[in-house]
Amino acid sequence: MNKEKNKMTLFSSIFMAIGSIIGASIFATTPIAIKIVGGNGIVWGFILASLFVFLKTWPEMVASSALPATGGAYMHLTRLIHPSVGILHSINYLVIGPMKIATMALTFSTYFAMLIPKAPPVLVAIIITLIFTVLSLYGVKISSWVQNVLVVVLLLAMFIYVFGGWGKTVITLGEVLSTTVKLSKLWAAMGIMHGSLIGANALMYVADEIENPGKTIPLAFIISTAFTGVLYAAIAYVTIGVMPEWFKIDNLATTAKIFMSPALLVFFISGGALLAVVTSINSAILMFSRSHFAGARDGLYPKVIMTVNKHGAPSNAIWLNSAIAILAMASGYDLTDVVNITSIPGLLLSPIILATIFFIPSKYPASYKTAFIKTPHWFNCTVVVVASVLSFILGSYVIGQMAAKNWITMIIFYIVALIYVLLRAKYLKKSGVDLLANMKKPYQPWVEQEAKAKEQLAN
């Protein structure tokens, strides 16, 4: 979609990934997870959640290394397994994408209220969503440049929290790590917390807008996820170590007030919490809009959704995601609602994405063998099985945290989605277009890459 000169470099990709991961989730879900697992277990929760994210995302990363494409998992599912699973994935992203944007925007309004208490929370959330929607319309190069600047300030605020609070802890790290926690509560907390560490996979959905994506995406994923995993564990320890009465923690600023001066607290809220949220909104809009752009290219959505503006951005796909997020916020869904609604599809349905790894060797063997990531196929398949089992276990525990209206919302959505897909396929068939056949067509860049890979192996 973009010219070569407008593509993201490895440096920009790493910063985009870090900004995407360190977002609303660490500020929004940490207090929720603490209340579930109970204080000291939060550190182990983040450590184990980091390992789970690596397991869960690794097969997807291997697939993107071998077969990069804008649209990421949607392209892999439709071309490697079957269009029906690609449709399910794309439809899920109509929930996950906008709800993640809503989570970030609502978290932004929560922390913004600490600076300006009388600001209407929902209105603030909607305004910040609109600001970054407009920014995204200027293309990936501008978005990545803004992300680089914001992430530098964001990391400074996070380091101030960790190093400033470490010396103020009243319990040791050893005491926190040696505490016994109830396994069922730890699973439930991890189910929510894993979303705090997912974000680097946003790069897989803009592969055509990244320099050398087969190599750049895996490197950026590994570096950014490992870095933030360590940082989150440190933040978790400081949060509990400074304030052992964990049931009083409403957000990280509650803990920060104990050891930060008023000036540093303002910087932490504005440069940390608020910037963390906006960097995630930035990358989320980038990621989910490209997924729906790919779906529209196949005919799943109206052609108007694949409109690309003069900056190379899929403008209507961007507006689609933001509009759904704004509608959800205006309808009265709070932060806990959107976190739960986002977690369930992400956990219970993610094994569908992981399964693509089984099909690459038979359909694109040369690309698989010459990919940047060269882990053995048996290892990749084992990771898929383990990650799938963990996804179902964590998902089942998160379900227990859901309110009735969350269930009702999800059921209604899937019914409406099914009706839409059937009507869309019928409409296209009258126009002489076979929706499923469109989705099965080989992606031309992959065909060309496979031919080059065969030549490389022959030589």
Delimit the domains of the chain by residue range.
Answer: 8-450
| Per-residue pLDDT tens digits for 86-119 | 898 888 887 777 877 887 788 788 878 878 888 8
Residue 5: exposure state from Cβ atoms within 10 A (0-12, 13-18, ≥19): exposed
Under the banding of pLDDT at 50, 70 and 90, the label for residue 361 is very high
| Residue 360 pLDDT | 93
Could you give the CA distance from residue 426 to residue 417 in angstroms, rounded to a whole number? 14
DSSP states along 87-152:
HHHHHHHHHHHHHHHHHHHHHHHHHHHHHSTTS-HHHHHHHHHHHHHHHHTT-HHHHHHHHHHHHH
Under the banding of pLDDT at 50, 70 and 90, the label for residue 72 is confident
Mean pLDDT computed over 203-211: 83
Mean pLDDT computed over 376-380: 93
> Is the pLDDT higher at 86 or at 334?
86
> Is the pLDDT higher at 61 or at 251?
61
> Is the pLDDT higher at 118 or at 344?
118
| 8-450 homologous superfamily | Amino acid/polyamine transporter I (1.20.1740.10)
Token pair for residue 68? 């990069």
The overall average pLDDT reported for the chain is 82
Report yes or no: 217 and 64 within 8 Å, Cβ to Cβ: yes
Under the banding of pLDDT at 50, 70 and 90, the label for residue 5 is low
SS3 assignment, position 210:
strand
Mean pLDDT computed over 299-320: 89
Token pair for residue 289? 């809009």
pLDDT above 70 for 398: no
| Residue 2 pLDDT | 46
Report yes or no: 390 and 55 within 8 Å, Cβ to Cβ: yes
SS3 assignment, position 82:
coil
Mean pLDDT computed over 432-437: 90
Mean pLDDT computed over 11-15: 86
| Residue 452 pLDDT | 93
| Residue 333 pLDDT | 62
Under the banding of pLDDT at 50, 70 and 90, the label for residue 321 is confident
Lowest mean per-residue pLDDT among 163-167, 245-249, 310-314, 394-398: 394-398
| Residue 340 pLDDT | 59
CA dihedral 399, 198, 57, 91 (to 10 degrees): 60
Share of the chain above pLDDT 90, in %: 19
